[in-house]
Amino acid sequence: MSQRGFLRWLWRQLTSMKTALILLFLLAIASIPGSILPQRGTNPILVEQWLTDNPTLGPVLDSIGAFDVFGSPWYSAVYILLFISLIGCVLPRLGVHWKAMRSQPPPAPKNLSRMGGTAFEYAGDTQTTIEDARKILEKDRWRTVVGQDPSGVHWVAAEKGYLRETGNLIFHFSLILILVGVAVGGLFGWRGNVIVREGEGFSNTLTQYDAWGGGRLSSADNLPEFSFTLESFDVEFERENSQEGAPRLFEANMVVDRPGVEGSTRHLVEVNEPLVIDSAKVFLVGHGYAPHLIVRDSQGTVVLDDAVVFLPQDGNFTSTGVVKIPDTDPQLGFRGLFLPTSAVDEIRGPHSVFPAPDDVSVFFGAWEGDLGLDNGIPQSIYTLNVDDMTQLGLESLRVGQTWQLPQGAGSIELAGYERWASFQMASDPGKELALVAAILAILGLTLSLFIQRRRVWVKVSQVLEQGSAGTVRVEVAGIAKASGHNATEQVDHIVESLKGKTN
């Protein structure tokens, strides 16, 4: 085989529908690690934590790009091959379909009886019968052509259902558009997450995000300029019936400021009702509690007077958090368990039985020693490394209570609590194109499923001539081009309509 022949064979293999389906299946499989494992583009801190917790498997997965799946060479290769394969499948079929849409139905076969057709005779003449058959077919929106074979038999050929192939092409073309939309969003889109406490603000700059990730061609320098203050966060929970504990109200009241816009504007952000600013959307994605803590060192000096974000662990908002005090000698660290509605039992231990703050308490564990903040390894603010620390004790506090740490190490006071809300800011410039593609896919699939390509033929031959009138033999047959279907209903309709002309 010559080089040109090999390339032609390779192109035919790549652009076959079988290859396109295989590549689509491979793309779905390749996306699984990106859904299971943390990704550097969205949460680099969690990736580093995963690598620390899995020192054997982590580096292996990292070397094959498992923590940056959608930017890895192997994922891009499958994506690009699928893109090329779909284009190679669709474009040639467009030309073929265009010619089919403009062509006439094929002449009647020589022997219609082999197609399981219907034959009958009645008094009439050939030209009138052919004209009647043509009018019946065109009334039902069939494309028709009239002809005569060499033996003198007249026929009408009709065809309909061209939109079935149109639907197939629209569906496959929509897959290409979806790939383009995903590519545009992946290259130019970005998203970030931030937790904001009540009364605090956020400015849309990279340093304000807890986690931020952008596409290969996106830049933090192009972020829309805006800021907002979370004035209040309102939540109400169902207290009766089977939905007890479910949120009835879940909304953030925000004051938004934008350069070039005079004055501040107020916005109410709810689930599925984001704040839209230029190309960015601000989604409300979660909420929780931040206990207000006052920590003093061994000399009684206040080293912390602030609310600390605790992360919920269940539907009743049993929440965990960490407090690190690096400015004491030795350094102090606390692990806390925040309970909005406190309960303790022998099996579950301390836990919350309702998400609303009906009976607030915090269970603390205290350590002193080296927090490990100076070893150059980044740490999550939600974890406490106690390898080089000594535990001082355990205690539970309610609002207004203070725990004096053992050995005069200091104290910690629960002064109250605040609410916090988590927001996701995102820009996806390819979503509109993907939406249009999804609509086209549904339209194309509907056309291809509910429209059937069919052909019918009517042949008329003179049996006995008696002046201007006589007896004609009529044969009607049809086929459906899709497997599992037939044209019996259309054939019966034509036969009944022609017989009705004689009555």
Judged by phi (left if over 0) then psi (alpha if -120 to 50, else beta), residue 467 lies in left
pLDDT digit string (tens) for 36-80?
888 876 666 678 778 877 888 888 888 888 888 877 888 888 888
HSE-CB at 486 with a 13 A cutoff on CA atoms is: 8
Give the Cα separation of 196 and 392 in Å (integer): 32
Question: Which residue pairs, CB below 8 angstroms and at least 24 apart, start in 395-402?
Answer: 395/363, 395/364, 395/366, 396/350, 396/361, 396/362, 396/363, 396/364, 397/361, 397/362, 397/364, 398/360, 398/361, 399/360
Amino acid identity, residue 429? P
290 by Cβ neighbours in 10 Å (0-12 / 13-18 / 19+) ranks as buried
CA-to-CA distance for 388 and 433, rounded, in angstroms?
54
How much is the pLDDT for 467?
Answer: 46
- 105-160+453-501 belongs to CATH 2.40.50: no
Place of tokens 């201007």: 468
The number of CA neighbours under 13 Å toward the Cβ of 315 is 7
Q: Write down the pLDDT at residue 502.
A: 59
**Residue 179 and residue 86: Cα distance in Å, rounded?**
10
Kind and range of the H or E run holding 50: helix 44-53
pTM of the model: 0.69
Residues of the chain with pLDDT under 70: 1, 41-45, 376, 464-469, 483-484, 501-503
| Predicted pLDDT at 373 | 81
Give me 259's structure tokens: 């350069």
Q: What is the pLDDT of residue 468?
A: 46
Q: What is the DSSP-derived secondary structure letter of residue 109?
A: P
The predicted structure's pLDDT at residue 446: 92
- Which tokens in the block code for residue 499? 């017989």
Query: 3-state DSSP helix/strand/coil percent for the chain, to nearest 5?
Result: 35, 35, 30
Domain boundaries, the chain: 3-100, 105-160+453-501, 188-287+424-440, 289-420
